[in-house]
Structure formats: structure tokens, C-alpha cells
A and B are shown apart, each in its own frame.
Chain A
Amino acid sequence: MPRFDYVRAGSVAEALRLLAEPGLTSRPLAGGTDVLVYIRHERAPFDRLVDISRVPELKIIERRGNEVVVGGAVTYTEAAESPLLRQVAACLVEACLTVGGPAIRNMGTLGGNVVNAAACADSLPPLTCLDTMVHLRSLAGERTMALSEFIMGPNRTAIRAGELLTHFSFPVPPDGARQVFIKLGRRNAQAISRLSIAAIGRLDGQGRADYVRLSPGAAMPTPRRLTEVEAMLLGQVPTDELLIAAGVRSAEVMIAVTGRRWSTEYKEVAIQALAERVLRRVLVL
């Protein structure tokens, strides 16, 4: 007797109908790289998987006016190979290229990464930096919310039963803004992030920062921008002194959120150095 059934959806409408079918618990299956690991040791918390990985509407990557739209079933490889994302979302592309190895990146999806909502998920810092909105659909209608509100804690999101994350959207960052993502893992590939960080920044004609976005990963229970640090830099010339202070402030903000945990001894110095390093890369020519 199989532990669960499988069905493939051809469209979002069909997926939503299948997910809402009464009498059994259905869950979406995108790349499967989290689901298949989970059900090796845990009882499957569903009766049926609805495969959404080939739904064309969930595979889009396109620019709509000043917005970029990325489908939930876009794989890390597809994101990293997208000319549009390479141009406007370099920190997201960098993050995608640090996930697992090629075989994981060929299956795993951005939607899956976000809905699984591991605190260490590599897509979260860049998506947060980009001010990403999450678009959800169910038979009851559509909902849109900020990524930082969608993720409620480690492995906890605002998604409801029968709801599908259809796509993400974010505004195109200003012209000339530079983007960086750095990840610390135990090795360079196939590693879970111990700490990661994404930054976007730009200088005006006078050499002062006129656009700054900074968001760490695996640092806090929910993703958020370090607006306290961004505010220190906006309108300022990024001197060594200021960048060092920005690193120190990043660590302070993290500790204010998490308190001193078992890993803080390491993360305090690591986030300080990483924040300073990414800000230097995006703001110092």
C-alpha cells in the first residue's frame, strides 16, 4: 500500500482544484528536494502530492513595467541562467548558485525554498533585499504579502491549506546599483549556510550612498532588512570607519532580535565581518 498518491497538475487552476479536493490531504510538490528528504524519516503529512513542477504559469521569469515577476516553480538553475535576473537581481543569482550542487539546483525551486522557510534558506536574503512580494492563490482568491510577513518563523509561513505560491514580484533596483551575496558554509558546495548575507548599494555623483539594502540569512528567525544599518549609510560617504561601524551595528541588531544563543559567539564576529565586506563590495569602487 503506497504511503501517498501522486498527481500532476497541468495548470494553476487544475492544481488549486486538486489541492482543495475534499476527503484527502494534498500538498504541492515542486522540486521535491526537501519533501523527499523529509519523508524518508517522517510519516508523510499528506495523502497525495500534486506535482506543480511543469505548470507553465509557474515557470515565468519576466519584466512587467518596473517589476520583475518570478514563478514559484522556477528552479535555481533556471533563475541563475536567466539573462533578466542576471541583469537586475545579481544577488539572487549568486545565492542560487550557492545552493547544493548542480543536481539540487536543477530540481529545487525558489517557491519551495521560500515555503519550506528554513532560517538558512539561501534565497531569503536576496529576495528580502529586493523587497519581494509573495503572491498566493487558492480557490478562494488571491493574496499578496511582503516576504518578510509571509515567513513567520523557521519552517513556518502564512500559507494556508489549498493555497499555492504562484509567483514573486519585486521592483527593478535602481540603475547602477551593485549587488552581492556571500555565504559561509562548511565547504564551498553541498553546504547548508551557517551564515549568509545579501546587499545592494549605489553611490551618487558625490560618492555618497543613495541606495542601500542589507539582509542576512541564517541569522534571525525571520528574514528582514537591517534598516538600522542601511540608515547609517544613506547619504554618507562609505569611509572605512563607517563600514566598520556598520558591521558592528549589524551584529548588535541580530543579537537584539535573537538574544545570545549557543551560536552567537561565532555569528557575532562573522556577521560583523560579512556585513562590512558586502557593503564594501557594493559601495566602494
Chain B
Amino acid sequence: MLIEFTLNRKRVAVEAPPDITLLTLLRDYFNLTGTKEGCSVGECGACAVIMDGRLVNSCLVLAPQAAGSEVITIEGIRGPDGGPNDMQENFITYGAVQCGICIPGMIMAGEALLMHNPNPTRAEIRTALAGNLCRCTGYQQIVDAIEATARSREGNR
């Protein structure tokens, strides 16, 4: 079936079977492999993307459910120069990235949080990341990086 939606701010249309997930659609039909497949059952958050302003696990969204929606993947998160944005820079600065497989989902969860709550407490950041598993960092540095991003964006407002 024809699935039309907005992907990283571009209108797209793709012919795909109705029984695949949004995760498969992104990775195999658009070659956007930044979105990772972890558990495939909504436990780990590695496949998290933003759909219509809300964080979702793309492994639990049927591809045609995205029709008419606005989807942002990690490939749609970048700075004005095309390089890393401020949150991605902060992940580097704060040592929030080790093996890296959870990071696209972590960035999406962080961006989704700041869209709704530009000035979160540390507790709110932790709640926002509750569905994203990281087996390397112990989360502290990830929380630090998102907190620093929120503070600097607030300062620039």
C-alpha cells in the first residue's frame, strides 16, 4: 500500500506492505539506519522516534499508522551546519556515549522531553528516559547532557 507522511520535514510516499513496522519502514525502505532495532517488543527504546510530537517506539507502530503523520528520526536531528546539534554535542562533552546503540533513542527521548518541557528537573529527565535502556553508561552522563542542553537552550531563549 502507498504510505505518505512527513519524514524529517520532507513529504515522502512509499509503496510498502501493510504488515511491517515503522522501524522496518525507516531502516529498510528509507535506509535510515540510525534508528536501531533492540528488543522489538517496546522494552528498550533503541528504536524510539518522534511521531506527531510524541516519543514512540517504532517497533510497536505499524508502518501504515504513520500515514499522515510527521515523523522525526535521529537523522532529522542536526545542527544548523548539518553537524551535531547542541544536545548531540553535549552527549559528547559529558561522555554520555559508550557503545552507542542506545544513543539515537536517548537523543530522541531527550528532544521529545524538551519539546514539551523546556526546563525539566533531573527527576523529570530520568522519567523521560525510563523507557530507554543503556547497559554502558549508568545513565548519569546522559542525564547530565540533557540537563546541560535544557539549561543552555533556556539561557538562549
Q: Are A107 and B62 in contact (CB under 8 A)?
A: no
What total of chain B residues lie within 8 Å of the partner, measured CB to CB? 29
A53 to chain B, nearest CB (A): 7
| From B59, B61, B130, contact of A101 by CB (8 A) | B130
- Contacting residues, chain B, for A106 (C-beta < 8 A): 54-56
Also in contact, A36 and B130, with CB within 8 A (given A6-B1, A49-B62, A102-B55): no
A13: chain B residues at CB < 8 Å are none
- Cβ of B57 and Cβ of A103 under 8 Å apart? yes
- CB of B62 within 8 A of CB of A29, answer yes
Residues of B within 8 A of A32 (CB): 60-62, 65
Contacts of A8 in B (CB 8 A): 64, 67
Q: Which of B18, B41, B57, B65 makes the CB contact (< 8 A) with A40? A: B41
Q: How far is B9's CA from A108's CA once the two chains are assembled, in angstroms?
A: 26
In B25-70, which residues have CB < 8 Å from any A CB?
A: 40-43, 45, 48, 54-57, 59-62, 64-65, 67
| B1-28 Cβ-contact flags toward A at 8 Å (1 or 0) | 1000000000000000111010000000
B54–A100 CB distance below 8 A = no
Complex formed: what's the CA distance from A36 to B130 in Å?
21
In the bound complex, how far is the Cα of B59 from the Cα of A49, in angstroms?
Answer: 17
> Which residue from B60, B65, B130, B132 sits with its C-beta under 8 Å from A188?
B130
A77 within 8 Å of B (CB atoms): yes
A44 to B17, CA, bound (A): 15
With a CB–CB cut-off of 8 A, which chain B residues contact A3?
19
- Which parts of A153-172 form the interface with B (CB within 8 Å)? none
A36-54: contact bitstring with B at CB < 8 Å (1 yes, 0 no)? 1101100010000101010
Within 8 A of A (CB), among B102-129: 109, 112, 127-128
The answer to whether B65 touches A37 (Cβ under 8 A) is: no
Which of the listed residues A2, A5, A49, A103 has the most CB atoms from chain B within 10 Å of its own CB? A103
Contact partner of B54 among A2, A36, A77, A101, CB < 8 A? A77
Cβ of B76 within 8 Å of any chain A Cβ, yes or no, is: no
Cα–Cα, bound, A5→B18 (Å): 6
Indicate the size class of the contact surface on chain A: 20 to 34
Give chain A residues whose Cβ lies under 8 Å from the Cβ of B41: 37, 40
- The answer to whether B62 touches A100 (Cβ under 8 A) is no
Tell me how many residue pairs across A and B have CB atoms closer than 8 Å.
82
Q: Among B17, B21, B57, which residue has its beta carbon within 8 angstroms of that of A104? A: B57
Q: A190 to B130, Cβ gap below 8 A? A: yes
* B17 partner residues in chain A, CB cutoff 8 A: 2
Q: From known contacts A32-B61, A190-B43, infer whether A6 and B19 are also in contact, taking CB-CB under 8 Å.
A: yes
Residue of B54, B109, B128 ringed by the most chain A CB atoms within 10 A: B54
- A32-75, CB < 8 A from B: 32-33, 36-37, 39-40, 44, 49, 51, 53
A244–B19 Cα distance when bound, in Å, is 52
Q: Does A145 contact B (CB under 8 A)?
A: no
Looking across the interface, which residue of chain A has its beta carbon closest to that of B51? Answer: A106
What is the CA–CA distance of A107 and B65 in the complex, to the nearest angstrom? 11
Cβ contact of A2, chosen from B19, B21, B42, B45, cutoff 8 A:
B19
A103 near B56: Cβ-Cβ < 8 Å: yes
- In the complex, the answer to whether A36 meets B56 with C-beta atoms within 8 Å is no
Of all A-B residue pairs in the complex, the 9 with the closest CB atoms, nearest first, are: A101-B131, A189-B130, A6-B18, A106-B54, A2-B17, A101-B130, A2-B19, A6-B64, A103-B57
- Given A33-B60, A101-B131, 8 new contacts (CB under 8 A): A4-B18, A8-B67, A101-B130, A102-B127, A103-B48, A106-B55, A189-B130, A189-B131
List 10 interface pairs A-B (beta carbons < 8 Å), by A numbering: A6-B19, A6-B64, A6-B65, A29-B65, A32-B61, A33-B60, A102-B109, A102-B127, A104-B131, A107-B56
